[in-house]
């Protein structure tokens, strides 16, 4: 499928049991990386790891609640212990929220979404900056909702704006250690989180179809951009929040109704 550009590298993917994280885990493995698949759903993580091993790759499944600081510590420790070091971190795990008007957002809902999406990602970013080997990279999954206002998902929007700010604030510290950090900002992606639970097969890049104009994307569409930002091909990119949107943000109104 490719030139196995991650041969000899060790990668960590959170939310790797399904959706974007699963697609990224499988693609990293196909490119030669040993992959640590972390997910709150341990069985789903193990299933992704098994898929990797069935094709001759190396993988390790870990249960993690990214909202827990101690879980993040244990995850990075297990990743480095399992394969002798860590080069790449794709901090993809997160949650959505019910679509409700701004005035119906409760403190409990806000606290839960921020605890997972923003605080949890912060823990991962801080540990990645300290642990990744020089030349490595980190990518965090933000959202198009981190670039504009999503009126029906206030807590989610706040959390994803926070991830964009986190990446921009952290990039100088990453650069000081010979590392990079960037964010991907997808629009609608057809995954279990958005009600599309099919575990899609990974396609050869020549067979990966373009999404419709301003249409929904597949998990692999997001994974491929994340892999580019993790690779040495993007060595000149640091602190970027990259939309992946099938032109949804290119026109006005910025998102389809």
Give a yes or no: residue 140 inside a domain.
Answer: yes
The pLDDT assigned to 1 comes to 42
Structural domains in the chain (count): 1
Q: Is the pLDDT of residue 257 over 80?
A: no
Angle between helices 42-54 and 19-30 (to 10 degrees): 30
More confident site: 146 or 255: 146
The pLDDT assigned to 87 comes to 98
Give a yes or no: residue 52 inside a domain.
Answer: yes
Give a yes or no: residue 71 inside a domain.
Answer: yes
The pLDDT assigned to 91 comes to 98
Report the C-alpha gap between 25 and 11 in whole angstroms: 8
The pLDDT assigned to 200 comes to 79
Question: Is residue 91 within 8 Å of residue 132, measured between CB atoms?
Answer: no
Burial tier of 253 (Cβ tally within 10 Å: 0-12, 13-18, 19+)? exposed
According to DSSP, the residues that pair with 189 across neighbouring strands are: 217
Find the range with the poorest average confidence among 90-94, 139-143, 158-162, 253-257: 253-257
DSSP the chain: ----TTTT-EEEEETTTSHHHHHHHHHHHHTT-EEEEEESSHHHHHHHHHHHHHTT--EEEEE--TT-HHHHHHHHHHHHHHHS---EEEE----------GGG--HHHHHHHIIIIIIHHHHHHHHHHHHSPTT-EEEEE--GGGTS--TT-HHHHHHHHHHHHHHHHHHHHHHHTT-EEEEEEES-B-SGGGT----PPPPPGGG-PPPPTT--B-HHHHHHHHHHHHSGGGTT--S-EEEESTTTTSSSSSS--
pLDDT, one tens digit per residue, over 15-68 is 999 999 999 999 999 999 999 999 999 999 999 999 999 999 999 999 999 999
Give a yes or no: residue 249 inside a domain.
Answer: no
- Residue 98: which pLDDT band, with cuts at 50, 70 and 90? very high
Give a yes or no: residue 210 inside a domain.
Answer: yes
Give a yes or no: residue 255 inside a domain.
Answer: no
Give a yes or no: residue 220 inside a domain.
Answer: yes
Q: Which residues are catalytic?
A: 156
Structural domain including 200 reads 10-244
Q: Is the pLDDT of residue 81 over 80?
A: yes
**Residue 240 belongs to domain with CATH number:** 3.40.50.720
Give a yes or no: residue 62 inside a domain.
Answer: yes
């Amino acid at each position: 499928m490719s030139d196995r550009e991650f041969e000899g590298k060790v990668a960590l993917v959170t939310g790797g049991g399904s959706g974007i994280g699963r697609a990224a885990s499988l693609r990293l493995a196909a490119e030669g990386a040993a992959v640590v698949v972390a997910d709150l759903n341990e069985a789903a993580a193990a299933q992704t790891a098994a898929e990797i091993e069935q094709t001759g790759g190396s993988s390790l499944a870990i249960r993690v609640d990214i909202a827990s600081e101690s879980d993040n510590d244990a995850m990075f420790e297990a990743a480095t212990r399992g394969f002798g070091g860590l080069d790449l971190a794709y901090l993809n795990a997160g949650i959505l929220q019910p679509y409700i008007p701004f005035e119906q957002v409760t403190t409990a809902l806000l606290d839960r979404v921020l605890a997972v999406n923003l605080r949890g990602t912060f823990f991962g970013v801080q540990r990645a900056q300290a642990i990744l080997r020089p030349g490595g990279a980190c990518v965090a999954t933000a959202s198009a909702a981190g670039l504009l206002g999503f009126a029906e998902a206030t807590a989610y929007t706040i959390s994803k704006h926070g991830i964009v700010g986190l990446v921009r604030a952290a990039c100088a510290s990453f650069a000081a250690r010979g590392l990079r950090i960037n964010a991907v900002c997808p629009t609608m992606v057809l995954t279990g989180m958005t009600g599309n639970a099919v575990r899609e097969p990974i396609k050869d890049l020549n067979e990966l179809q373009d999404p419709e104009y301003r249409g929904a994307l597949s998990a692999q569409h997001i994974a491929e951009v994340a892999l580019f930002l993790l690779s040495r091909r993007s060595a000149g990119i640091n602190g970027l929040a990259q939309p992946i949107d099938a032109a949804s943000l290119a026109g006005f109104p910025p998102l389809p109704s």
